[in-house]
Structure 1
């Protein structure tokens, strides 16, 4: 029973994006590992950009700097 946990930042991930991620992940596990879709669990977690860091700073700070 595969369990896949996808974490993304809260930056406009739509219900359609999530649907496609779940569908695509399930199909990949079926194709590559022959796992049945009925027993494949995919969880998408959206993380606030203040709670995600890279290079010693939050994604909030990175995005603010990128936007100028």
Structure 2
């Protein structure tokens, strides 16, 4: 038995290889945030990376799938 971050074991949970022993108990590690120095003169590669992450989180439904309070 171990307490680990959901993203680290998500595949195991979704395949039922791993099982939550205490599904109503979790520790919230806080929000996932992306920080960058300024919105002004943002390099194109930085903007592309930000857009890529936003799209990946939407497409893969990571907000719901990473939630610690999943039963």
Which is strand-richer, 1 or 2? 1
TM-score of the superposed pair, with normalisation by structure 1: 0.31
What is the TM-score normalised by the length of structure 2? 0.30
Higher relative contact order (CA 8 A, sep 6+): 2
- Larger relative helix fraction: 1
